[in-house]
Amino acid sequence: AAGVIQSPRHLIKEKRETATLKCYPIPRHDTVYWYQQGPGQDPQFLISFYEKMQSDKGSIPDRFSAQQFSDYHSELNMSSLELGDSALYFCASSLRYSGDTEAFFGQGTRLTVV
């Protein structure tokens, strides 16, 4: 079965550079979530989109922005990268009003800022 696809799997950037992370949800899923997991930490919610509109916002820095496109894929744009942005970034998708609240996670993108 198709799963959530994230790209790239690994990314190394220098401080002050920009990074773009991509997420392709499970077909027909209408909701995408982004999470950030620092080393040894639990995943922290960043932002979510439902039907291409931002639906909720968590602890996402102003340097980060995200959007969901017409094909439902989502991109997380991160600018002026800092060392502390080094983390595993997860994308998840769900079908919001399916009656089943399960969110399916991608494998994550490991971002290292040097």
Partner 1 sequence: GNSVTQMEGPVTLSEEAFLTINCTYTATGYPSLFWYVQYPGEGLQLLLKATKADDKGSNKGFEATYRKETTSFHLEKGSVQVSDSAVYFCALYNQGGKLIFGQGTELSVKP
Q: Which residues bind partner 1 (CB under 8 A)?
A: 31, 33, 35, 41-45, 48, 50, 55-56, 58, 90, 92, 96, 101-108
Query: DSSP for 46-86?
Result: EEEEETTEEEEE-S--TTEEEEE-TTS-EEEEE-S--GGG-
Q: Smaller CB distance to partner 1: residue 18 or 41?
A: 41
**Minimum distance between the CB of residue 107 and partner 1, rounded to whole angstroms?**
4
With respect to partner 1, which residue has the nearer C-beta, 17 or 56?
Answer: 56
Token code pair at residue 98: 């399916």
Nearer to partner 1, 79 or 107 (CB): 107
Closest separation between CB of residue 43 and partner 1, Å? 5
Question: Nearest approach, Cβ of 63 to partner 1 (angstroms)?
Answer: 21
Interatomic CA distance for residues 44 and 39, integer angstroms: 12
Collect all residues with Cβ–Cβ distance below 8 Å to 42 and sequence separation of at least 6: none
